[in-house]
Amino acid sequence: MLRRVWRPILATTAVGTSAYLYHTYSQKKQYSGGFELQVKTKGADGKREMSTQKFPLLTVTGLEERLKAHATSHASPRPNGITWRHTTAQLASNDPIEDTVSYAIIRRDPTPDTPDGDLLFFTVMDGHAGPYTSRLLAKTLIPAVALQLSELMGEPNSFVPKKGTLDNLKSWIYPSKTSPIPFDADPKYVSNAIQSAFAMADSEIINAPLRLLIENMQANPPPKGVEPDLSQHPMAMAAMLPALSGSCALLAYIDTARRDLYVACTGDCRAVAGIWEEDTEGKGTWRVEVLSEDQTGRNPKELARMQSEHPRDEEASVIQRGRVLGGLEPTRAFGDARYKWSGDLQQLLNRVFLKGNNHPMRSTPPLLKTPPYVTSQPVVTHRKLSFLPPASPSSENTTSSDVADKSKSELRFIVLATDGLWDQLSSSEVVALVGGHLAGLSGSVPKAQLSSLIPTTLSSDPSAQTVEGKDKRRRDDGGAWAFVEDNVSTHLIRNAFGGADQRKLRRLLSIPAPVSRNYRDDVTVTVVWWEGGKDEPKQETFNLQTPLKAKL
């Protein structure tokens, strides 16, 4: 039983610029039933100025309803004895929310070369400049990837380069003693299939207005030199809006038959894995393994790539202040046609589709010279899943080290989230919070004590660490984490914006759009984990006077 709820007495945590503003403005005068903030408004002369606005404060009941309004939980028992579980939660800052999410679990058809199993897909999409691109991706990205993987399994010729005469001669003289690895078990070909699917999905989005224009001009040729006005065409805005807005996308693909995990990242969403490592005495720690890398201009790899893809005279302008041409933060994204179309094409499509709708396109970025500057091509990472049973006794992918390491190191969960979560929490904090939730922590846990209850270590592999995509200046002013949620995704969102500090949490979530974007972003979190073959974690209650021993 929880005998004492620890209440923080230090200042609330401040994270980066948004939290600094909150920390500053939260000191403003309180009034009955609400609070005041300084916000930017337009004065009578049209100039921006600061003014004081009053906002009603969410009730405790209203707070809980807002946190849980878009939370879901799913359990999928599978024939191999594994139960896949995943939760998703969303918290809007924009109105409407620009994040989306989707998932699919597909039963795999066994063949002589392919054992029985499942294909699991989980995606989160972080939209910007509107919800249109992310909403379209929620419906199309997983089907596009599944189609490419299906072709790889059934007709791989489009992915596999043909052998030359010399290669065929070598194969005839020096025949291989081992069976070739199936194409869908080769990370190189699977990664290529995923990248092809992402590219085709973006091509459909970006080229939709062009196809519509060409089809209309072929069906109804206008007089020479006259541009058609398609602003009232029923597909005009449906084609233009997803191309002009943009979206990052993060996909996790799990092939249980092959025991493979692939993570594909376009943009600055992030995937993090919690690896449970147990020593010979049964004591364990969580190893934090970041499965993606934030793709913004602050990432040295992305900066070097961008500079290499454009002329030398643009070396200093392709990324300015960590942003593409000084404007867009992610260097990879779907849509964002302003950074992909030429200036002339942007002006043409603006006149044809948008001018008559009184919905003019934003001006072309002034530094745009050699588009495209943004790509949808994802970076794909691959991991083996040692906890899954071998596909078959003779599987080429099963080694003695896999079996030996099973009891020592297991990937237990994956967190996929848009950057609204990572603005507030580090990868290590997220792994510790999920690990504590799975261990059954309950109540309020002082931040300084969580590391002793739920030890975490950063992976020593540089490829398993990430580059922060934004200029973040996190400041830890103490406080406490809250372990009060059944839904682990909602648990992460609660702790991102206040944790056990309910006053801070209520105020941050009370700020309405569009003012809220000065303090927090849209957040979408999906947590995937598995159960089976182990006892359920025992439910424990945290008591400040009696340190809790967490076990898995």
Instruction: Give one DSSP letter per residue of 101-125, joined into a string.
Output: EEEEEEEEPP-SSS-SEEEEEEEEE
End-to-end CA distance of the chain: 21
CATH topology of domain 60-157+182-384+401-531: Phosphatase 2c; domain 1 (3.60.40)
DSSP state of 376: -
Amino acid identity, residue 385? L
CA-to-CA distance for 446 and 237, rounded, in angstroms?
Answer: 50
Residues 6 or more apart from 115 whose CB is under 8 A from it? 257, 391, 392, 395
Note the pLDDT of residue 280: 77
Question: Taking the C-alpha atoms of 119, 277, 424 and 483 in order, what is their torsion angle to the nearest 10 degrees?
Answer: 90
Assign 15 to helix, strand or coil.
strand
Note the pLDDT of residue 377: 98
User: ∠ CA(155), CA(160), CA(163), 5° rounding?
Assistant: 120
Question: What does the block give as tokens for 100?
Answer: 């989306």
- The low-confidence residues of the chain, meaning pLDDT below 50, are 1-32, 392-407, 533-552
Note the pLDDT of residue 548: 40
Name the CA radius of gyration of the chain, rounded.
Answer: 26
Q: Which of 90, 86, 74 is nearest to 127 (CA)?
A: 90
CA-to-CA distance for 136 and 61, rounded, in angstroms?
Answer: 34
Evaluate if pTM is beyond 0.75.
yes
Note the pLDDT of residue 15: 31
Note the pLDDT of residue 182: 84
CA-to-CA distance for 220 and 58, rounded, in angstroms?
Answer: 56
Note the pLDDT of residue 167: 54
Tell me the pLDDT tens digit for each residue of 312-360.
999 999 999 999 999 999 999 999 999 999 999 999 999 999 999 988 9
- Cα–Cα distances (Å) from 416 to 14, 155, 445, in that order, read 23, 31, 24
Amino acid identity, residue 486? D
284-290 and 456-458 beta bridge pairing: parallel
Note the pLDDT of residue 269: 98
Question: What does the block give as tokens for 69?
Answer: 């309004």
For the stretch 460-464, contacts whose Cβ atoms lie closer than 8 Å and that sit 24 or more positions apart, written own/partner, are: 461/289, 463/381, 464/289, 464/290, 464/291
Q: Print the SS3 string covering 92-106.
A: CCCCCCCEEEEEEEE
Contact 166, 142 (CB under 8 A): no
User: ∠ CA(305), CA(306), CA(309), 5° rounding?
Assistant: 85
